[in-house]
Amino acid sequence: MKRLVPTIAFTAFLAAYAPSEPLRAETGAEAWLRYARLDAHASRQYENLPAIVVMFGDSALLNSSRDELVRGIRGILGKTPRISRRLSHEPAIVLGTLPAIQKAFPELRSPQNLAADGYWLTTIRIHGCDSFIITASRDRGVLYGVFAFFSKIARGESVKNLDESQQPYAAIRWVDQWDNLDGRIERGYAGRSIFFENGAVRADLSRIADYARILASVGINGCTINNVNADAHLLDDDHLPQLVRVANVFRPWGIQLSISVDLSSPKIIGGLDTFDPFDPRVVEWWRKKSDQIYSAIPGFGGFVVKADSEGRLGPSAYNRTHADAANVIARALKPHNGVVFYRAFVYNHHLDWRDPKNDRARAAYDNFHPLDGKFEDNVIIQIKHGPIDFQAREPVSTLFTGLERTNEAIELQVTQEYTGQQRHLCFLIPMWKEVLDFDLLVNGASLPVKDLVAGKTFHRPMGGFVAVVNVGLDENWLGHPLAMANLYGYARLAWNPNLTAREIADEWTSLTFGPNPNVVSTISSALLSSWNTYESYTGPLGMQTLTDILGSHYGPGIESSEENGWGQWHRADQKGVGMDRTVRTGTGYAGQYPPLLAKIYESLDTTPDELLLFFHHVPYTYILHSGKTVVQHIYDSHYEGADRAANYVRQWESLKGLIDDDRYGATLSRLEYQSGHAIVWRDAICEYFLRLTGISDAKGRVGHHPNRTEAESMQLTGYKSVSVTPWENASGGKAVECPPPQQTCSAQLTFEGTSGMYELDVQYFDQNNGESRFRIFVNNEVVDEWTANLQLPATTIGGDSSTRRSITNISLHHGDEIRIEGIPDREERAALDYAEIISRQQR
């Protein structure tokens, strides 16, 4: 922008400027839209920002855009701009669609055709003054432009000579919530539903409005508010007025409301004796239902369907296909421009594990590829990014290339079901980048997943991105203060999958914690390495997350995936490990990829190490490309991963004073917890494979814990030794519990090392059905005490509840008596696993 002549308004603007306040306490509720005041230095470059906002046009979306502009300027720069409907001789920030602005300024030409939802930020001389233009072809794009404008300013980016237009990569940029009408959220880790309580939409919609604004700020344009395991009653007449209320809250933010429906609804709530998609009464029922919804909710988005999957009813009940099922609904929605997201997550969960040819990974392709071209144009097949289910690592789904004449969307998971449930830091953008950039190489041509799902490759009318988010009532939305980076990053990738993971991490950190370069680089680096860290201590080499797949999907549960019908097998026995998915000797899954890739995965030599055990069954002594044996890699990666998790704590501690105390403390405690739980994971998996293979760790770590004293071998008063199942989830396979009628128990050991400074770690079990108390004494003096109340997903002792308490810097003398006292509460028996005393040099 050319220099603006300072006006009276600008002087007022400068006077109103206040220096940044020192680190006010923050809850995280504002996510990345904090609009925190810039300091004097940083705000100087915006001192010529116009003091008047002129808006052309009138709509709910434009009003949101204008209000957001005022809110942003007030927050970031400490000044309230004036609103006007007309341009005067002062510079202004001009808002409106391009046609509306062009009416006033026919000379304004857009740089290129602005796609729907795209925006253009530019500067122009109007009446001799330089003004900012925030425009788009539609109202929603104007809103996106306003948010983009503030993203720049909040990060201290220059807006001088601004001239930038952006178009989203795909039309579909949706989020799903798995909220139940009773207020619980399936796989939600941050409190109860913001949408529902007691079978109905909540009375207070304020969090929904906040959520809609957050989503809009990063270009999300649709939200499915209920669980894909759908309660049919959400479609009944009683609930419709409630949905209207939600839609009204979404509309000013350009978020289309959609809901998950049960395919058997015509029967469950429609009073029919069938839900056969070919029955004319069923056809009519869906038509009427759609008409009814659209007359109450203009702009309604459509329906999400999970059918014939994990116990849900589906078209197989009538010998119909998924296309038949999707189309009956799609035809009803079509006149209203509604869409059906039909999920490809269809598999048999009663597979015979004894049959080496059986393979759940094949299911999506086997079920949907034969139906390619049979779906209506307003059906979108929603495909999980991998063939199994959001594991720590999977190859990309074969179905992406299996549909050429059908719309598709990729389904990602922000809620960290298999990746630490927001108690572990796991920034998933690097994983999603790998998936989206992954080249499926068809006929020698490059075919990245992002182009397939966006509908670019086969010129599909629709396509894009969906993520399961599951925010809850927790103030910071997702529980872990750093977890919202995944929602932010998902949306940024849906807008532009060519952004790098680092760009996204830097943007999010800077918006969330302020632009201090030290803060940004420290947090970004931790984010960027965190997926790899999590993978390395949970289930490397493509074994998938070795978690308890029959329960919480949280802590270690190595054998839970074996020998049952769920098909998440990794087939570990004494001799070898891995699923043979080759065409030659295995399940043939590798052959579902286009030929070049199929060849790569078919051969041991060319399969990348990180997916080796996904595609091949090998002996533990098999040498990886890295030069290590499989079993040594398992040991090493778990130790390295746990070490890296411990380092996150130290890195975070270096930010003390640079982040407000509330978010600093909340993050620190989660990172400390993670660092302890990473050791639980490490030990469970390493000890398990040591016992199974009989091959010892070349570095002598596994099975040797010289600083550790098992609770069961301490001097116990009241505590009783118990076995833990599975054995590898407790050190030595045992723990001690304080059973009724005991009210207090204690476990004591004598320190036999040399006097000095130590870290004392106590491994205990924190269940969610009691709040036991613990106290540590050294020679009868209390050195620490705490309550076990972390609300972990556990009602018993084991890998989900095992937790570490660290007392850093404790001075110990040879012969000191260390006593751990446990006071049980309700069903929680103040259980202990072990104590570890580590010298400062060993840390």
Least gap, CB of 315 to ligand GCW (angstroms) = 17
Least gap, CB of 418 to ligand GCW (angstroms) = 7
Interface region with ligand GCW, contact rule CB under 6 A, candidates 226-234, 349-357, 596-604, 769-777: 226-234
Pick from 351, 365, 179, 203: nearest CA to 260: 179
Check the CA dihedral 784-653-647-554 and report its sign: positive
Size of the site for ligand GCW (CB under 6 A): 11
Closer CB to ligand GCW, 467 or 812, in the complex: 467
Closer CB to ligand GCW, 309 or 327, in the complex: 309
Interface region with ligand GCW, contact rule CB under 6 A, candidates 86-94, 146-154, 221-229, 319-327: 221-229
CB-nearest residue to ligand GCW: 389
Report 46-75 residues binding ligand GCW (CB under 6 A): none
How are beta strands 302-305 and 339-343 bridged, if at all? Answer: parallel
Which residues are 196's β-sheet partners? 201
Least gap, CB of 411 to ligand GCW (angstroms) = 8
Which residue matches tokens 């680190």?
Answer: 23
Among 4, 100, 215, 228, which residue sits at the site for ligand GCW (rule: CB under 6 A)?
Answer: 228
Helix (H, G, I), strand (E, B) or coil at 762: strand
How far apart are alpha carbons 712 and 833 in whole angstroms?
A: 8
Least gap, CB of 533 to ligand GCW (angstroms) = 22
Closer CB to ligand GCW, 139 or 176, in the complex: 176
Least gap, CB of 793 to ligand GCW (angstroms) = 13
Cα–Cα separations (whole angstroms), residue 794 to 252, 424, 766, 798, 805: 41, 16, 8, 8, 18
- Catalytic residue at 417? yes
- Catalytic residue at 697? no
User: H-helix or E-strand containing 257?
Assistant: strand 256-261
Closer CB to ligand GCW, 386 or 514, in the complex: 386
Helices marked H in 603-724: 612-615, 630-653, 661-693
Closer CB to ligand GCW, 147 or 345, in the complex: 345
- Is residue 389 close enough to count as binding ligand GCW by CB under 6 A? yes
How far apart are alpha carbons 294 and 297 in whole angstroms?
A: 5
Pick from 619, 620, 585: nearest CA to 602: 585
By the 8 A CB rule, do 276 and 319 touch? no
Terminal CA-CA length for the chain: 55
Least gap, CB of 228 to ligand GCW (angstroms) = 5
Closer CB to ligand GCW, 264 or 632, in the complex: 264
> Which residue in 176, 179, 276, 389 is the catalytic one?
389
> Which residue in 30, 210, 411, 417 is the catalytic one?
417
Report 85-124 residues binding ligand GCW (CB under 6 A): none
By the 8 A CB rule, do 129 and 79 touch? no
Interface region with ligand GCW, contact rule CB under 6 A, candidates 225-233, 243-251, 580-588, 793-801: 225-233
Among 102, 229, 525, 748, which residue sits at the site for ligand GCW (rule: CB under 6 A)?
Answer: 229
Closer CB to ligand GCW, 390 or 751, in the complex: 390
- Catalytic residue at 609? no
Angle between helices 206-217 and 240-250 (to 10 degrees): 50
- Binding track, positions 140-179, relative to ligand GCW; x by CB under 6 A: --------------------------------------x-
The distance from CA 263 to its chain's CA centroid, rounded to whole angstroms, is: 27
Report 393-452 residues binding ligand GCW (CB under 6 A): 417
Closer CB to ligand GCW, 224 or 637, in the complex: 224
User: H-helix or E-strand containing 105?
Assistant: none
**How is residue 370 annotated by DSSP?**
G
The four Cα atoms 264, 270, 275, 277 give a dihedral, to 10 degrees, of -110
Closer CB to ligand GCW, 232 or 598, in the complex: 232
Least gap, CB of 186 to ligand GCW (angstroms) = 5
User: How many residues are given for the chain?
Assistant: 843
> Which residue in 238, 273, 310, 437 is the catalytic one?
310
Task: Report residue 210: phi and psi, to 5°.
Answer: -65, -40
Least gap, CB of 565 to ligand GCW (angstroms) = 14
How far apart are alpha carbons 484 and 28 in whole angstroms?
A: 9
Least gap, CB of 679 to ligand GCW (angstroms) = 26
Least gap, CB of 256 to ligand GCW (angstroms) = 21
Task: Report residue 50: phi and psi, to 5°.
Answer: -60, 155
CB contact set of 490 (below 8 Å; sequence gap of 6+) = 175, 412, 414, 428, 429, 432, 465, 467, 469
- Is residue 360 close enough to count as binding ligand GCW by CB under 6 A? no
Report 297-356 residues binding ligand GCW (CB under 6 A): 306, 345
User: H-helix or E-strand containing 369?
Assistant: none
Report 770-799 residues binding ligand GCW (CB under 6 A): none
- Is residue 262 close enough to count as binding ligand GCW by CB under 6 A? no
CA 394, 397, 399: angle at the middle one, nearest 5? Answer: 170
CB contact set of 517 (below 8 Å; sequence gap of 6+) = none
Among 82, 152, 155, 187, which residue sits at the site for ligand GCW (rule: CB under 6 A)?
Answer: 187
For ligand GCW, the binding residues (CB under 6 A) are 178, 186-187, 227-229, 306, 345, 389-390, 417
Q: Which residues are tagged catalytic?
A: 310, 389, 417
